[in-house]
Amino acid sequence: MAEKTEIDDVSGTQTTGHEWDGVKELDTPLPRWWLYIFYASILAAIVYWVLMPAWPLVNGYTKGVLGWSDRANVASDLSALRSARAADFARLERASYAEIAADADLREFARAAGESVFGDYCRTCHGAGGAGAPGYPVLADDVWIWGGTLADIERTIAYGIRSGHPSAHLSQMPAFGRDALLAPQQIGDVTEYVISISAARTRLAPNMGAARRGATTYQEQCALCHGPTGAGDRAQGAPSLDDDLWLYGGSRAEIRRQIELGRGGVMPAWESRFDPATRRALAVYVYEMGGGEPDPPPAPAEAPAATPMAAPQ
């Protein structure tokens, strides 16, 4: 078939010579810029195949002359991170809270490491940000059942509370109602008394006659742990009763229920789960949620000698 190319009158472009029923096809050339990009792409692909891993083979793939491997890079990044962190963890394990607080990098490292572990292991019970839930104390405030210095918090985390660990916090409130240690009437009276010494008295308006009767029972049965004025005793994990913050709820019925049942919360021990540096990071994170307490001043026996020029012995 004879194909005749010609210049199209209207566009001035050459035709391909194909013609269907008098309709001719223009042979419009590709724009130059497009062609150059096209050739450059082919060239780039070939260069890439040579340099980088590219083609799948039966047993493996073409490795490329650069020997690049994302898997190897991730592994080396991870081990670099691990060794960079090892130094931080080792520093953390040795530092006192004052030293951690004075070292912005170390403090941020501890806080971040603690936050991530807290999210995985503690949030289920203590709530996001340590907001607490009934039976699970708020950690983000400055009210502590067992103590709020860094050492106190670390101890609680390591051994737990009524956890079965030999060093755990142990003490337990008696179940005055269930075990019939007090008559229901006495429990009602001591409930009114507890309300009358707490900051909930404005909210709950205690019956003062009953509270006066309950005062004696309180001093005989409760003061040993909760203190004569209801200030609480951290050594025994007895919460303060003079504020308006309640682990088991602050209604009259809920307060009475705890006196009847003497519930004691269980906090797991984490000693075998986390190394000391991770426990310290957790403690720093909890401490910094808002309620950490300064270390007590050193006992007099540990205080440095008053005069640096003390005579040698």
Q: Which residues bind ligand HEC (CB under 6 A)?
A: 118, 121-122, 124-126, 135-137, 139, 144-146, 153, 156-157, 161, 171, 173-174, 176, 190, 194, 221-222, 224-226, 236-239, 241, 246-248, 255, 258-259, 263-268, 270, 282, 286
Residue closer to ligand HEC (CB basis): 79 or 219: 219
Structure tokens at 109: 């490292």
C-alpha separations of 34 from 28, 30, 37 in Å: 13, 7, 5
Contacts 24+ apart (CB under 8 A), 161-165: 161/237, 161/264, 161/265, 161/266, 161/267, 162/264, 162/265, 162/266, 162/267, 163/266, 163/267, 163/268, 163/269, 164/269, 165/269, 165/271
Task: With CA atoms as reference, report the closest residue to 78 among 86, 88, 68, 89.
Answer: 86
Other CB atoms within 10 A of residue 156 CB? 24
Residue 175 CB, nearest approach to ligand HEC (Å) = 10
| Contacting residues for 154 by C-beta, under 8 A, at least 6 apart | 279, 280, 283
Closest approach of ligand HEC to the CB of residue 212, in Å: 15
**Closer Cβ to ligand HEC, 24 or 257, answer by number:** 257
Nearer to ligand HEC, 15 or 282 (CB): 282
Half-sphere exposure of 294 (CA within 13 A, CB side): 4
Closest separation in Å from C-beta 83 to ligand HEC: 25
Question: What span, in angstroms and rounded, lies between the C-alpha atoms of 121 and 70?
Answer: 31
Nearer to ligand HEC, 8 or 243 (CB): 243
Q: Of 95 and 152, which CB lies nearer to ligand HEC in the complex structure? A: 152
Q: 11 or 124: whose CB is closer to ligand HEC?
A: 124
Q: How far is the CB of 45 from ligand HEC (least distance, A)?
A: 53
What's the CA angle centered on 251, arms 245 and 256, to 5 degrees?
100
d(CA 286, CA 123): 11
Q: Which CB atom, from 8 or from 260, has the smaller least distance to ligand HEC?
A: 260
Query: What is the nearest approach in angstroms of ligand HEC to the Cβ of residue 241?
Result: 6
End-to-end Cα separation, the chain, in angstroms: 123
Nearest distance in Å: CB 161, ligand HEC: 4
* CB 233, min distance to ligand HEC, A: 8
Q: What are the structure tokens assigned to 251, written together?
A: 């209604």
- Minimum CB separation of residue 84 from ligand HEC in Å reads 24
The smaller minimum CB distance to ligand HEC, of residues 52 and 246, is found at 246
